[in-house]
Amino acid sequence: MSGDPTTVDPLDVAIPPLDDAARQAALDRQAELTKPPGSLGRLETMAAEIAAMQSTAEPRVDPAVVVTMAADHGVVSEGVSAYPQSITAAMVATIHDGGAAISALSESGDIENVVVDMGVAGEVPDGVVDHTIADGTANIAEGPAMSREQARSAIAAGRSVVDEHAAEAAVVGLGEMGIGNTTASAAITALLTDRSVDAVTGHGTGIDEETRARKVDVIERAIGTTDPDRTDPVDVLRSVGGFEIAGLVGVTLAAVSRRLPVVVDGVIAGAAALLAAEIEPRVADYLLGSHESVEPGHEAQLAALGLEPCVDYGMRLGEGTGAAVAIGIYRAACAAHTGMSTFAEAGLDGE
């Protein structure tokens, strides 16, 4: 399926406010559960925040879905990655066949993993959801990554993935695959957080310091060449983004419009979350942190979005792996909240 521009504005999204009454009802229940108040720490506040998002005093995580979107990046030709572009298609096949880290974590965590081709420059297996916009973006060091029409089409495709594959979900995690996409995400992060390119650019696939310096130079040239309007998230996306990042913007917008909490994975998913929150600030109310990536841009993203990670395990793989791990923690928070007895139910209310 090609990514033709949609007649419906993909940026037009109605996001309901958080339900303060549901949050308070959840907090009231926490105060009555058979434990000292606050003894489950952040698990208690996690449950209350999810309750406000889902507009219920009984929050839940299941069914859980992680959407892993894949695309290639023309900027790889600048030597910014330790791996060739062909790895993108190979890893999409591995994820589809169940052999990747996100596959194992999804299976162990009872999470559905939806794999989407947004613009892989190579053959991918049948069964991968096809929303191809083009065979990878253009080289951002030489010009814009994509047209504005392609950016909007990719966002629209992401929204349709939620409608078609996660409509019954209770929570959605963001994942990605694409050689070169830490370069795009660093560019987006620098533009939207007012941090320097050097401060938000890491070692990605494990590049050495010399290659990281080249990566910083490439990003700075890309920003200078494309000259994106920092106040226009679609222009930022058009100039230095990626098709999978654009697709995740659409996933985020569609999910939060359904009151679905969105678990943000690492630095590439974080770039998509930044863009979505720029399009509609209320998006940030529905975001949940996962891990704290070792990529330096992730700290800037978390600060801008007001997110607190669940874990700090030194992860930097992507694919949605951090989101999958975090969903297990959010599941535990909801299970304790809904499954524990109150003091009254346990006959311990002193009457």
Catalytic residues: 319
DSSP code per residue over 79-142? S--SS-THHHHHHHHHHHTT-SHHHHHHHHTTEEEEEEEEE-SS---TTSEE---SSS---TTT
- Output the CA angle 77-82-84, nearest 5 degrees: 50
Backbone angles phi, psi at 112, to 5 degrees: -80, 130
CA 81 to centroid of chain Cα atoms: 21
In the chain, the N- to C-terminal Cα span, in Å, equals: 65
- Reference 270, options 309, 240, 238, 229; nearest CA is 309
Backbone angles phi, psi at 301, to 5 degrees: -65, -50
CB burial of residue 185 (10 Å; 0-12, 13-18, 19+): buried
Tokens representing residue 287 in the block = 């975001």
Alpha helices in the chain (DSSP H): 20-32, 42-54, 86-96, 101-108, 148-165, 181-193, 197-200, 209-226, 233-240, 243-257, 267-279, 296-305, 321-339
- Reference 186, options 172, 207, 157; nearest CA is 207
